[in-house]
Amino acid sequence: MTKRFPEGFLWGGAIAANQAEGAYNVDGRGLVQTDVTTGGSVDKPRYATFVDKDGNPGKLPSMGHTAKLPEGATFAILEDEYYPNHEAVDFYHRYKEDIKLFAEMGYSVFRLSISWARIFPNGDDKEPNQAGLDFYRSVFEECRKYGIEPLVSIWHFDTPLALEEAYGGWTNRKLIDFYVTYAETIFKEYKDLVKYWLTFNEINNTVMFLDMFGDKATDQDYQEAYQHLHHQFVASARAVKIGHDINPDFQFGNMICGITFYPGTCDPKDILENQHKWEQNIFYCSDVQAKGRYGSYAKRLWKEHRVELEITEQDKQDLLAGTIDMYTFSYYMSSVVTTHQFDDTASGNFSIGAKNPYLTYSDWGWAHDPMGLQYYLEKIYDRYELPMMVVENGLGAFDTVEEDGSIHDSYRIDYHRAHIQAMAEAIENGVDLIAYTTWGCIDLVSAGTGEMRKRYGFIYVDKDDAGNGTFERTPKDSFYWYKQVIASNGEILE
């Protein structure tokens, strides 16, 4: 029998500004990292492009916001390169049509992010950009028209590029003030339109990157990454505090890239290694954001790489005063941790580990593990006892458009059905889960590879990896399936 979802459970979907909006140079928007990032594929990295100090073009493998420029170089858009995020799927001009389709599916929540560079094009501007403020007001009003609750990420991998260049990005403490000014501006502006806010998307990616680099990451890399994160923690906490003062009804979530880590064997060394993996990759960030202080193991993590963090007394007070109201996370897959030799490697979504013989894998190598979602929900709820939201979950897959224009994505339906069942089990086991927003509810540009063909949506967008297409929207089979899931509050999953 299908387990029940609580009344008022929020069903919907999620996108991010830089992956969906396009219109990268419209209405006063400043540039962000993805505007200088090329397309890639599962085995070809995306590149960040630049011009060096002598004016020569160059590119370096981009890991989103962590690409480091050579001395004297500046990020640049090069003429003979293709940048998939420039147009993305043109949500900027088509949001009314898209939100109407979301409403047709029955959404009660829609997660999107505000592009900081639309509001403060350079990040440190004295005044906000009115056109940017107007755009999001109109988007939120459109949501409200259909009774859809906006769930807003304040930052989704898109610090204004000008802040990266002028201040060196988040390793610089000044970024805290710029972020807080931006957050305060949008809280005041949208205080009657938005209730749910997420401070930093997948904040733990910064440590997960280090983990993926393995021995290639130097102590200096660790020093910078942990200081960068500390600044984001303080920025998040100060924003939460200010937000609660502006509107006590505001609910704030962190946003963790949720990966369930399993020990590869019952060798105690694997069990301990796995525990330490959870501490570094998952708890390091969420303990600070949920409890207002670093976990006891943090000192060990810093010591291992001779990290000396600058943490002021004021920072400590800020962290305590700005803890989150709900634990929100993305979930796509699990990963295996072992100290033993292994032949098959599996990687995806900022993690790398041994292949799990009990699971199947997507075309992009991501493990398919719905039970891992149940495990994650129960483990985390037990630790923090905060309301939880699954704010990203989905299957990146190739879709085929049939001659009559239909798209039969039964594989995507199977993926979501299994994850919804896992959520129901977790709820049955006491977890206070309040929302589910599937990732890429409409096809968008992949963050990791820059591809369009890695599709997550219930709505197909006619655009290919070279940017060709009409951008026309077509509901897939999953669209009608999800509509029924929502109408039955998760009871009809067939």
**Could you list the residues that contact ligand BG6 (CB under 6 A)?**
16, 19, 201-202, 257, 330, 349, 392, 396, 439, 446-449, 454
Distances (CA, A) of 51 to 73, 77, 136, 160, 383: 6, 9, 33, 18, 47
Distances (CA, A) of 31 to 17, 23, 116, 415, 463: 12, 11, 10, 35, 23
- Choose between 5 and 110: whose C-beta lies nearer to ligand BG6: 110
In a 3-state reduction of DSSP, which class is residue 203?
A: coil
Rounded to 5 degrees, φ, ψ at 353 are -170, -170
Axis crossing angle, helix 284-291 with helix 370-384, rounded to the nearest 10? 40
How far apart CA 433 and CA 268 sit, in angstroms, is 32
In a 3-state reduction of DSSP, which class is residue 282?
A: helix
Task: Quickly count helices (H) and strands (E) in the chain.
Answer: 15, 18
How far apart CA 473 and CA 476 sit, in angstroms, is 10
CA end-to-end distance (rounded Å), the chain: 12
How far apart CA 292 and CA 294 sit, in angstroms, is 7
Residue nearest to ligand BG6 as judged by C-beta position = 448
Report, in Å, the least distance between residue 364 CB and ligand BG6.
7
Report, in Å, the least distance between residue 233 CB and ligand BG6.
18
Alpha helices in 368-476, H assignment, sequence order: 370-384, 410-428
Output the six-digit token pair for 448.
Answer: 């990791």
Report, in Å, the least distance between residue 88 CB and ligand BG6.
11
Respond yes or no: is residue 202 known to be catalytic.
Answer: yes
Report, in Å, the least distance between residue 45 CB and ligand BG6.
12
Catalytic residue among 21, 87, 392, 451: 392
Report, in Å, the least distance between residue 221 CB and ligand BG6.
20
- Choose between 179 and 366: whose C-beta lies nearer to ligand BG6: 366
Axis crossing angle, helix 130-145 with helix 174-189, rounded to the nearest 10? 50
Burial of 295 (0-12, 13-18, 19+ CB in 10 A): middle
Respond yes or no: is residue 7 known to be catalytic.
Answer: no
β-strands 251-253, 196-198 pairing: parallel
Q: Is the separation of the CB atoms in 486 and 437 below 8 Å?
A: no
Report, in Å, the least distance between residue 349 CB and ligand BG6.
5
Quickly list DSSP for 120-167: STTSS-SS--HHHHHHHHHHHHHHHHTTPEEEEES-SS--BHHHHHHH
Q: Is the separation of the CB atoms in 42 and 449 below 8 Å?
A: yes
Report, in Å, the least distance between residue 200 CB and ligand BG6.
11
Nearest to 391 by CA among 160, 150, 188: 150
- Choose between 159 and 446: whose C-beta lies nearer to ligand BG6: 446
Residue 465 burial (CB count, 10 A): 18
- Choose between 18 and 181: whose C-beta lies nearer to ligand BG6: 18
- Choose between 359 and 427: whose C-beta lies nearer to ligand BG6: 359
Report, in Å, the least distance between residue 434 CB and ligand BG6.
19
Report, in Å, the least distance between residue 141 CB and ligand BG6.
25
Report, in Å, the least distance between residue 14 CB and ligand BG6.
8
Largest Cα separation within the chain, whole Å, is 68
Residue 187 φ/ψ region, left for φ over 0, alpha for ψ in the -120 to 50 degree band, beta for the rest: alpha
- Choose between 342 and 398: whose C-beta lies nearer to ligand BG6: 398
How far apart CA 348 and CA 335 sit, in angstroms, is 9
Catalytic residue among 189, 202, 224, 451: 202
The set of catalytic residues is: 202, 392
